[in-house]
Amino acid sequence: MSYYYTRDHEWISVNGTSHDTIATVGITDYAQAQLGDIVFVEAPPKGTKLSKGGECAVVESVKAASDIYAPVTGEVVEPNRALEGEPALVNSSPEDDGWFFKMTLADSTELEGLMNAAEYKAYVASL
């Protein structure tokens, strides 16, 4: 499993890069810590077509609402239903149980523009 990161603090994990690869998307530990207590996540329903960089989900903390952007182009195949009842999973397990949705990968070369874990770590350290 490979993880990629955006400058907007989303992560995307993929297992291989074949045309039927399903990727998982969420927000990073840094993002959840910045947002604080998360009380609501609006993940896109199955079938939503996403384009790289477009708004795809909303996350609400006690204090504020934030947009989440699609890290790559593709189609949502499964939103994380567990977040409906327990949005705090994003705080407790941002890069595992707190995933937002799974999606297809229209163009796996889009991943090449994203950061790897080491690059993202350096990026966060620079903020």
Which residues lie near another protein (CB under 8 A)?
Answer: 8-10, 27, 31, 35-37, 39-40, 42, 58-60, 62-69, 84, 87
Question: Closer to another protein at the Cβ: 60 or 78?
Answer: 60
Closest approach of Cβ 14 to another protein, in Å?
20
Nearest distance from C-beta of residue 2 to another protein, angstroms:
21
Determine the 3-state secondary structure of 88 from DSSP.
coil
CB of 59 vs another protein, minimal distance in Å = 7
Which lies closer to another protein via its Cβ, residue 37 or residue 107?
37
In whole angstroms, give the CA distance from residue 24 to residue 21. 10
Report the 3 state secondary structure along 12-51.
Answer: EEECCCCCCCEEEEEECHHHHHHHCCEEEEECCCCCCEEC
CB neighbour list of residue 88: distance below 8 Å, 6 or more residues apart: 37, 38, 39
